Structure 1
Amino acid sequence: MLCRYNIELSGPSPSVPRSIIPREELANWKHANQLLRDANAQAEELIRLTEEKCEVLLEKASFNIWQRVDAQLKRWERSRQTMCDNLEHYATQITNQAIHNLLDEIVAPQRVAALIKQLLKSQVDEISATLVCHPHDLKEVTHCLARYGSTVWKLKADTSIDSQTLVLKTDEGDFRISWNDMRNALYEQVRDRRIDV
């Protein structure tokens, strides 16, 4: 005959190891694993988005830095150009002042000698002419003509001619040379000359 037995399981005792895992607990573990996978996927997505944002911010920061560097370099270039322009201006002023001082320090006899030397350079052939000068310069003109060996020109003093001015009168016309005119022409040349830095 068949007998029927009922086995009742008592609640889990802390001292007895469990070999049977209840279905609810397995479902909870499965659900927990799914939550962990979802959390990992979300974390990876957040990391990817954060890295993309970091790259965008890094590019933006790099662009801003290069813009600022470029602006600073342009300011430095303008400053350097201004300094060079000022340097050119001051160098020209100093050169002009030095030339003015040197020319002003030349004594009258040397000025007359320079005029005669220039006059002799401009005359390829010595022609018969009259050299007119101021009476104050007559002695120095005579001395210079003798020193340079020019004896063809007749010498004449005239008070209507400025001091340190010579006029060579020929059949073809008059040639006038003056210390002040030479000095002013030199000043103009020096002033108009650009000094490249």
Structure 2
Amino acid sequence: MRKRNKQQVHECGEPLCHQIVPVSKRYCPEHQAQHAAIWRAKKDAYRRSKLAQAIKAKQAKQYDQTERDPEATKFYHSSRWTKVRDAVYARDMATDQVTGEVLGDRKVVDHIIPLRLCTAKQALDSNNLWVLSYRTHYRKTQLEQLISQKPNGDTKLRHLDRQWWTKVLREKKEDNNNEQ
């Protein structure tokens, strides 16, 4: 190991490459890119393998049995839900209703009033549904959990509308952008 300008350095970890790199790195930029490409190829091959698919299926099954609400699972697999979901997805033109981001083929149709607090009529009411990206949906879910834990939280969640959620989620997004 050598010291250069009071900084710890060493040679690239690739055999026969003598380029000097900081201790925090293992390879020079050229070989780092090569190793990253090799790693991505191995990872992609593993993901496509039958073993990986079997492991993922087993984990999903275990999650469904231990974590997921059976009533919610039954609801989300019903034909009535899939028809309403597809109609809302088409109505909102596959765009995140908070950010305006155009989404691919992924359908995240969210209940504005959470399903667990909805009446049977509200659960399939298209006015209680909107399309969100995975990121926005995750943030909304986190906020729902925080609100739900507070006194009268579920009552508050029943009364929050699309306009309020849009405002709060946009503010939160702007705060995150300002921090970066």
TM-score by length of 2: 0.22
Larger Rg: 1
TM-score by length of 1: 0.21
